[in-house]
Copies of this chain bind each other. A is one copy, B any other.
């Protein structure tokens, strides 16, 4: 049993969730390694949501509210860490959820589909191979997408996305939003909006602000989006890392 008094309690709870999901076959082989990279960056960030991340989240929610077909792309890691929070956010901004795996196997897709059903979300996309199309007709598993989901979406939120896939998505003309703790990653650099934060903090924060933003004038939301510069915001996120603080 973990003690709540442990200085790294929250981080260890997430680690346990990932280990458990791995044992249950929900994750790709190297998904735990990816989680570890995230842990390191979150550690350097002080495991807190920064102001630049919150700025990016306001823009994200505004974009999703204004979009015709916003889609949230999920994989094993995001599901293991925040399935209920994702479902709640999707409902708050009227977005679809699509299972989109970098290393797609039928077994993992089936397990994830079942998990979303068990959590009260049977309308998950991407669980059926017949529905698969290819973005910009690139015949590459990296470009696969569900026809009524990512393929026809105008805005996609892709938390914890692989760099190769992010590159294909960024060329699609859609609005690409990522949640990635590494501000230097290809995914962060290639997205239109990059939220440098942990998904378990970011998703509930966005659900919380969605109610307010939905009630605001659309011109206000458009203004937020217009004023946002992702490169500047990424630099501000980068400045939040504590790697150069003195060793005490």
Residues of A within 8 A of B (CB): 15, 18-19, 23, 29-30, 32-41, 43-44, 182-184, 189, 231, 234-235, 238-239, 241, 243-244, 246-247
Contacts and interface: CB of A to CB of B under 8 A. Distances in A.
Nearest to A39: B37
A31 to B, nearest CB: 8
A235 B231 contact: no
Contact of A238 (B30, B35, B247): B247
Interface of A is mostly: helix
A235 to B, nearest CB: 6
17 contacts: A18-B33, A19-B29, A23-B29, A32-B32, A33-B35, A33-B36, A33-B39, A36-B37, A36-B38, A37-B39, A37-B43, A40-B40, A40-B182, A43-B184, A238-B244, A238-B247, A243-B243
A78 to B, nearest CB: 16
A36 B34 CA distance: 6
A214 B221 CA distance: 69
Nearest to A36: B36
Most buried by B among A29, A182, A231, A239: A29
Given A184-B247, A243-B241, A243-B244, A33 B32 contact: yes
